[in-house]
């Protein structure tokens, strides 16, 4: 980043900081009292990544009485300032006050991690920036919620899991479908054998990513592009990757392999996750990945579990969805429907002997409650890592166009050293996994 841009950005942040210091009105719901949660009972949260998804994810946390967003950070100072403003307005509205000033915008996320009064951190950055801040937050003693897919590589995901275990932290992956009734019910029906023997599953999500190929555009003063790139290989700026505020659509960095995993990891992190849950494979995974051999194929990959169940990445005409094919009927599940060809399952009640899956009604409160109890969550980092691994391995198979044998215990390929070399990625100088 050139000197003039850096100076402009610092001046913007300085003005924002002066605004923060000018006045602070603390509403009664922060101070405690009848019907309110006292500060000592609130989980204080720092929010890393303040773009479109940041605001979407921030909403359910602001609605929780026992959580408080007190800090934020983004590589775009305008987005950080707007997120701070948005959070303060939301808290003011919740307390029926005209204003509130309790969320501080920081230039670097490390400043959030240095605050001893912050209990937990939410990582809502692009995928290539998940692992490093999450691990640093865990090492700083913070509990961590990280958006899905958990990681861009298998190595990153395992490092995140290890950091959580090493520091005894409570984690949650943003796989919120596990906290939705229909998805839980679908998985319980499969898990308890109500579809009979399930031998095949179809999953429709988008295709793999492509190499970055966009032309250079002029860089705006308020964006620290070097920080946005972070550990990934440097590319020239384009608005598609980090659009300026305001922007109604999602940025397109997911399309490019340097920063995301295409539709395979975007929606795959949701739908392959349901497959894992239904099959009871949260601590394991498939053993074989067979990609299509036709050049440019966006669907067609098959992966198999050790018990013979086959999962096909296939468009079966129902949008982003999963189809379980059993000997006693099929079941289709998406965010819009839960349908089965076996009519007796429509109103079926599980028996006392049936396996009941973890019940979470609110994905965000589930994490906050677990922080307080020091218990587990519906989608901790081990769960998120195993699902992300399927997505990341699928992309490797699509790229190499060769069948791959996978050992889910050792997390290595047994028939391709080339594929093993793709389980990690080379970081730019100055960046590393701790």
Q: What's the pLDDT band for 39 if we cut at 50, 70, 90?
A: low
What is the average pLDDT across 293-316?
Answer: 96
pLDDT in tens, 397-434: 999 999 999 999 999 999 999 999 999 999 999 999 98
Topology given in CATH for the domain delimited by 3-177: Rossmann fold (3.40.50)
Residue 96 above 70 pLDDT? yes
Residue 122 to residue 74: CA distance in whole angstroms = 12
pLDDT of residue 434: 81
- The pLDDT mean for the chain works out to 92
pLDDT of residue 36: 52
What is the average pLDDT across 99-122?
Answer: 96
Residue 73 above 70 pLDDT? yes
pLDDT in tens, 231-266: 999 999 999 999 999 888 899 999 999 999 999 999
Do residues 132 and 106 touch, judged by C-beta distance below 8 A?
Answer: no
Does the fold of domain 178-209+263-352+360-420 match that of domain 3-177?
Answer: no
Residue 43 above 70 pLDDT? yes
Identify the residue with better confidence: 274 or 95.
Answer: 274
Residue 90 to residue 59: CA distance in whole angstroms = 9
pLDDT of residue 302: 98
What is the average pLDDT across 273-292?
Answer: 98
pLDDT of residue 37: 59
pLDDT of residue 38: 59
Q: What angle do CA 219, 220, 225 make, to 5 degrees?
A: 60
Nearest to 194 by CA among 343, 404, 19, 83: 343
Residue boundaries of the structural domains of the chain: 3-177, 178-209+263-352+360-420
Residue 20 above 80 pLDDT? no
Q: What's the pLDDT band for 12 if we cut at 50, 70, 90?
A: very low
Residue 18 above 50 pLDDT? no
pLDDT of residue 346: 79
Do residues 65 and 72 touch, judged by C-beta distance below 8 A?
Answer: no
Residue 387 to residue 406: CA distance in whole angstroms = 14
pLDDT of residue 219: 97
Residue 329 above 50 pLDDT? yes
What is the average pLDDT across 109-134?
Answer: 98
Architecture of the 178-209+263-352+360-420 domain: 2-Layer Sandwich (3.30)
pLDDT in tens, 167-195: 999 999 999 999 999 999 999 999 999 99
Residue 116 above 70 pLDDT? yes
Residue 15 above 70 pLDDT? no
Do residues 367 and 203 touch, judged by C-beta distance below 8 A?
Answer: no
Do residues 220 and 231 touch, judged by C-beta distance below 8 A?
Answer: no
Q: What's the pLDDT band for 95 if we cut at 50, 70, 90?
A: confident
């Amino acid at each position: 980043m050139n000197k003039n841009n850096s100076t402009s950005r610092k001046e913007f942040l300085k003005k924002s900081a002066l605004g923060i210091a000018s006045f602070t009105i603390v509403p009664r719901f922060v101070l405690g009292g009848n019907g309110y949660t006292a500060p000592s009972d609130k989980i204080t949260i720092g929010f890393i990544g303040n773009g479109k998804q940041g605001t979407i994810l921030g909403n359910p946390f602001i609605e929780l009485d026992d959580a408080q967003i007190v800090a934020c950070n983004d590589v775009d100072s305008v987005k950080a300032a707007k997120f701070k403003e948005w959070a303060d307005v939301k808290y003011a509205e919740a307390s029926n006050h005209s204003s509130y000033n309790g969320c501080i915008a920081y230039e670097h996320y490390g400043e959030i991690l240095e605050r001893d009064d912050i209990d937990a951190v939410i990582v809502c950055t692009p995928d290539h920036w998940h692992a490093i801040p999450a691990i640093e937050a865990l090492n700083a003693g913070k509990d961590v919620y990280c958006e899905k897919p958990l990681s861009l590589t298998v190595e990153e995901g395992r490092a995140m899991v290890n950091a959580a275990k090493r520091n005894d932290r409570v984690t949650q992956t943003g796989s919120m479908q596990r906290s939705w009734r229909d998805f839980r019910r679908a998985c319980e029906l499969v898990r308890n054998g109500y579809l009979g023997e399930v031998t095949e599953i179809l999953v429709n999500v988008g295709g793999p990513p492509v190499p970055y190929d966009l032309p250079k555009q002029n860089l705006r003063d308020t964006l620290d592009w070097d920080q946005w790139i972070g550990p990934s290989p440097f590319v020239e700026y384009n608005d598609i990757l980090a659009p300026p505020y305001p922007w109604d659509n999602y940025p397109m960095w997911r399309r490019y392999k340097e920063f995301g995993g295409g539709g395979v990891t975007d929606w795959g992190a949701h739908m392959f996750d349901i497959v894992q849950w239904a099959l009871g494979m949260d601590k394991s995974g498939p053993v074989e990945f067979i990609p299509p051999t036709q050049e440019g194929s966006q669907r067609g990959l098959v992966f198999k579990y050790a018990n013979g169940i086959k999962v096909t990445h296939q468009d079966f005409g129902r949008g982003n969805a999963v189809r379980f094919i059993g000997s006693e009927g099929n079941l289709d599940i998406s965010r819009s429907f839960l349908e089965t060809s076996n009519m007796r399952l429509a109103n079926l009640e599980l028996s006392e002997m049936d396996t009941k899956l973890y019940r979470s009604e609110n994905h965000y409160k589930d994490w906050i409650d677990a922080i307080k109890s020091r218990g587990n969550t519906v989608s901790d980092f081990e769960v998120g890592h195993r699902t992300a691994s399927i997505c990341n391995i699928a992309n490797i198979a699509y790229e190499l166009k060769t069948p791959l044998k996978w050992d889910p215990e050792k997390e290595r390929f047994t028939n391709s050293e080339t594929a093993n070399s793709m389980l990690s990625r080379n970081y730019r100088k100055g960046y590393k996994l701790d």
